[in-house]
Amino acid sequence: MKRKATQVKFVMVIVHDREGVRISLQYGEVMNNMWQSLGGKTDEEPSMEAAFRELEKETGLVAKPEDLKFLINDLNYNCDVYTLKVHPNTELDLIEPDKNGK
């Protein structure tokens, strides 16, 4: 039986460099002392467009389409996961500073 394709609801972008994965330690009320990778809802747009939007919104980075690599679709969460390799000296804005007590 063929599985019916559905609109992906979430995206996640794993930002990494040669040292490892870049994630953010949260300090806000809701997620205090929790680690977070960036991502969000797709708002019914193609998942790659949502990944670019979330990347820029949450880190300030603007990537080229060839830099963002599709990794996997997590069927349990209806989430497309992408990776982005950055230079080790790349500074990222704080993920969601308005929700991070800053």
Write the pLDDT tens digit of every residue in 40-89: 999 889 999 999 999 998 888 899 999 999 999 999 999 999 999 988 77
The confidence band for 93, taking pLDDT boundaries of 50, 70 and 90, is: low
Report domain extents, the chain.
10-89
Identify which has the larger pLDDT, 47 or 24: 47
Q: Which CATH superfamily is domain 10-89 in?
A: Nucleoside Triphosphate Pyrophosphohydrolase (3.90.79.10)
Q: Quick one: how far is CA 67 from the chain centroid?
A: 14
The pTM assigned to this predicted structure is 0.77
Q: What is the mean pLDDT of the chain?
A: 82
Give the pLDDT confidence score for residue 23 in this predicted structure: 77
